[in-house]
Amino acid sequence: MRQLLLLRHAKSSWDDPSLPDHARPLNARGRRAAQAMAAAMRDLGLAPDVVLVSSARRTLQTLEAIAPFPDSPMVEPMDDLYLAPWPRLLDLLRRAPETARSILLIGHNPGLQDLALALVGAGGMTGGAAVAARRIAEGFPTCALAEFSIATPWHDLAEGGGRLVRFLAPADLPEMAI
């Protein structure tokens, strides 16, 4: 079994309207949410061996805030992930090294939410993961994490090809209730 972690970047700042979208940094709430998500990921033992991250400043800063990981994963910043639609994200995952046991993809909405729903497929909207799948359908907040179990090789990943293990949003974390 393989593991796929989909993480939306943390909350970004709109304080400087002259900055291009690609250059927007995290705001204080985003940094706090990313640190809380990092702690949750450590507690759950989620440690990717490959990280695919959009080249946008806010995604790179999200990665900095959730690192370090136990086994120093291969990190690949990618321009192609910036605001990519879900079919493009799926295509990039299909090119992942087959030796990768766990991949963390840090990206943007709506592509990330759409990819999560595509991986869940119609069958995933019923059964044990249905509540989490419906939460994803309602929204994929900043710094939210969807964990999937993948039974196929990466190159065969397709719609309906993921089993949703959990969906965790910053609002679910005790650290963010403060």
Phi-psi region of 18 (alpha: psi -120 to 50; beta: other; left: phi over 0): alpha
Task: Kindly write down the DSSP assignment for every residue of 108-164, as one continuous string.
Answer: -TTHHHHHHHHHHTGGGGSSTTHHHHHHHHH---TT-EEEEEE-S-GGG--TT-EEE
Q: Return the pLDDT at 99.
A: 95
Question: Which pTM does this prediction carry?
Answer: 0.95
Q: Return the pLDDT at 50.
A: 96
Q: Return the pLDDT at 178.
A: 54
Please write the tens of the pLDDT for every residue from 36-77.
Answer: 999 999 999 999 999 999 999 999 999 999 988 888 899 999
Q: With cut-offs at 50, 70 and 90, classify the pLDDT of residue 159.
A: very high
